[in-house]
Amino acid sequence: MTEDATLVTIELGERGYPVRIGHGEVASVGAQMAALDLGRRALVVTNAAIARRYAHPLLDSLDAAGIEAGVAEIPAGERYKHLGTIEKIWSAAMARRLDRHGVLIALGGGVVGDMAGFAAACYYRGISFVQVPTTLVAMVDSSVGGKTGVNFHGKNLIGAFWQPNLVCADLDTLASLPTRELRCGLAEVIKHGAILDLAMFERLESAFVTRPERGGLRLTAKVSLSPDTARYSVVRSCQLKGQVVAADERESGQRAWLNFGHTFGHALEATAGYGKLHHGEAVSIGMVLAARLGVLRGDLEASDAQRLEAVCAAVGLPTKVPAGTDPEVVFAAMGRDKKAREGQMRLTLLTALGQATVAADTPPEMILSLLRQACVET
Ligand code: NAD
Ligand code: GLY
């Protein structure tokens, strides 16, 4: 078991849970589950590539803790995030005779986590669920907060709020993550700093812009993610997201801040064609556009928008819309956002670095004009 794990507790009363962040955490999952008395029969949901690297230490730890477990391998990728895959998870759970005391363990990124969580939410009307995130996106965002689901006629339109009982984030797994996926995770980390924590934003600025880090995981020819900054990013993101979720689990208020950059981002992702722009890349461009909109509205200093853009660019994230993007198509896609209410677009915007707001009163012509300008600048 790891000695050096940092513990973040998500304060949701009876549904609260520990998030452990450290090195070698995959091998401690069994002991942690046993300590929480989560169940004696489990199914690990993962994909073949992740299983090859990390299933063995996980299964060994479950065995050592007296937890009988099998593996359900699901196909990798966002295009398999659908109900057909959920059915496969349920069938595997039935085949292993998991009952309402059984546990689903998600070993992987956000795709695996969102689906295993949704499968757990419905199986026997809801069973225990453990997140073992192996991407930076999953460590800093998707494994915490209980949003689970699949794509159906649109992204994540079928799902449930279903909190995990335990999250074990193993920083060692980031070593095998492709650089592009690492950068995508940093987009969500930068987002957390931009909306909630100026000190965190400034620490990222220092690590990537002012005194670029070398050593650790390579991000660009000039910039790396050091072990210290990686750990800080995961711990602080889980603390910040945990506080927001504890105060507003069902997104009736401040949780919408976590969507900063996402209304522009989702629309860009959809218009580029899913898979072309990765989610974190779309969020990076979306945050830059949302910050510029804040400046146009007179809510945000231009220098703050520039600082945000500089951090995203420094880690190698895109900050400009892809060449050939049609502003009218992006604008139309933004109107279909989940947050829109009665045709009114609701955008999360910054009022300062570390402070956000949700505004429904931006004139549509202002958004369209910003998009037209951005599409000329590509
Ligand atoms: P992902 O799960 O598709 O993983 C990216 C790729 O990395 C996959 O090919 C995966 O097999 C591979 N991989 C995973 N771990 C690896 C490792 N350690 N080494 C090498 N390869 C590894 O992508 P993601 O960015 O983790 O998650 C994106 C998904 O998460 C989207 O579906 C999004 O909707 C969802 N999401 C959910 C929430 C939430 O709150 N529930 C928040 C953010 C994102
Ligand atoms: N990823 C946004 C949220 O969890 O609310």
pLDDT digits 0-9 by tens, 202-240: 999 999 999 998 889 999 999 999 999 999 999 999 999
Q: What is the pLDDT of residue 155?
A: 83
Q: Whose CA is nearest to atom 2 of ligand 2?
A: 258
Torsion of CA 140, 166, 2, 40, to 10 degrees: -150
- Write out the two tokens for 334: 């933004």
C-alpha Rg value of the chain to the nearest Å: 20
Taking 50 as the threshold, does the pLDDT of residue 1 lie above it? Answer: no
pLDDT digits (tens, 9 = 90+) for 5-58: 999 999 999 999 999 999 999 999 999 999 999 999 999 999 999 999 999 999
Q: What is the pLDDT of residue 340?
A: 63
Taking 90 as the threshold, does the pLDDT of residue 338 lie above it? Answer: no
181 is catalytic: no
Closest CA to 121 of 97, 146, 141: 146
What is the CB < 6 Å shell around ligand 2? 141, 145, 147, 255, 258
Taking 90 as the threshold, does the pLDDT of residue 267 lie above it? Answer: yes
**Distance set, CA 284 to CA 143, 189, 290, 305 (Å):** 20, 11, 10, 12
Q: What is the pLDDT of residue 158?
A: 96
Asked if residues 241 and 146 have their Cβ atoms less than 8 Å apart, the reply is: no
pLDDT digits (tens, 9 = 90+) for 342-372: 667 899 999 999 999 999 999 999 999 999 9
**Ligand 2 center from residue 145 Cα (angstroms):** 7
Question: Crossing angle, helix 29-36 and helix 48-64, to 10 degrees?
Answer: 50
111 vs 338, more confident: 111
Closest CA to 255 of 274, 269, 268, 242: 242
pLDDT digits (tens, 9 = 90+) for 116-151: 999 999 999 999 999 999 999 999 999 999 999 999
d(C-alpha 268, C-alpha 287), whole Å: 12
Q: What is the mean pLDDT of the chain?
A: 95
**151 CB within 6 A, ligand 1:** no
Q: Which of 262, 278, 292, 339 is catalytic?
A: 262
Q: Which domains does the chain have, with CATH numbers?
A: 6-176 (3.40.50.1970), 184-376 (1.20.1090.10)
Asked if residues 168 and 130 have their Cβ atoms less than 8 Å apart, the reply is: yes
241 is catalytic: yes
Give, as one character, the DSSP assignment of residue 277: B
**pTM for the whole thing?**
0.97
Asked if residues 127 and 41 have their Cβ atoms less than 8 Å apart, the reply is: no
320 is catalytic: no
Taking 80 as the threshold, does the pLDDT of residue 169 lie above it? Answer: yes
d(C-alpha 352, C-alpha 357), whole Å: 10
